Amino acid sequence: MDIDAIFKALANPTRRQILQWLKQPEHYLPLDECGSFERGVCAGHIERLGNVSQSTMSNHLSVLQQAGLIKVEKYGQWSYFSRNEALIQQYIDHLKQAL
């Protein structure tokens, strides 16, 4: 776990919002449009929620992925993102002990 990378990723409000969207995607995205969230959330749906350019959202997702906070699975041409709950819990436990 790279604590500094996680702090950097969480320093940006858009990236914190992405984690919230991924935590409860059914609250933010219509199920009939997305199918199901078993694989995660498609990058295009995250991009639309963020109302930013594709390159900006791609950068945010990359920072979160490099920090280990999210995972990506590729299915054909599509990328699906989900939270890395194990690492998030490890980070929370670290904060409880360290601070």
Domain ranges across the chain: 3-98
pTM beyond cutoff 0.75 = yes
**pLDDT on residue 72:** 93
Tell me how far apart the alpha carbons of residues 19 and 28 are, in angstroms, rounded to a whole number.
Answer: 12
Cα dihedral 71, 73, 79, 82, rounded to 10, equals -40
**pLDDT on residue 71:** 95
Which CATH number among 2.30.40.10, 3.40.50.920, 1.10.10.10, 1.25.40.10 corresponds to the domain 3-98? 1.10.10.10
- Print pLDDT tens along the chain (99 aa): 899 999 999 999 999 999 999 998 888 777 766 666 777 888 888 888 888 888 999 999 999 999 999 999 888 888 889 999 999 999 999 999 988
**pLDDT on residue 33:** 66
**pLDDT on residue 69:** 97
Q: Three-state DSSP class for 31?
A: helix
